[in-house]
Amino acid sequence: MYTQQLIIKKRKFFKMVGRPSKKVQCEATTKRYGRQCRAKGILKKNGHYICRMHGGLSFGPVSIEGKIRALQNLRQYKNKTYEEIREYIQTNN
């Protein structure tokens, strides 16, 4: 009986491994006041925590067609054809 009570007391202070004790906030700041965003941040490859509203869940275009559509919106690729952009993507990847 005494050992069960001791185990229950120890569980109250047990922390889960690999989880931060506090919520990790997004590192983006607001334009108006310069305050930090208060949403939960997601760790990105560059080491920054960004929330879903500031691009944390976006990984950009994955397919070749999506990359071509994204590049066609840029000024330097506006006048290039579909095949020229496709060739550029394949040589650089």
Per residue in 7-62, pLDDT (tens digit) is 555 555 555 556 666 778 899 988 888 999 988 888 888 888 888 888 877 778 88
* CA distance linking residue 82 with residue 84, whole number of Å: 6
Token readout for 30 is 């607001």
What is the Cβ-side half-sphere exposure of residue 90, based on CA atoms within 13 angstroms?
A: 7
Alpha carbon of residue 58 to chain centroid: 7
The model's pTM: 0.46
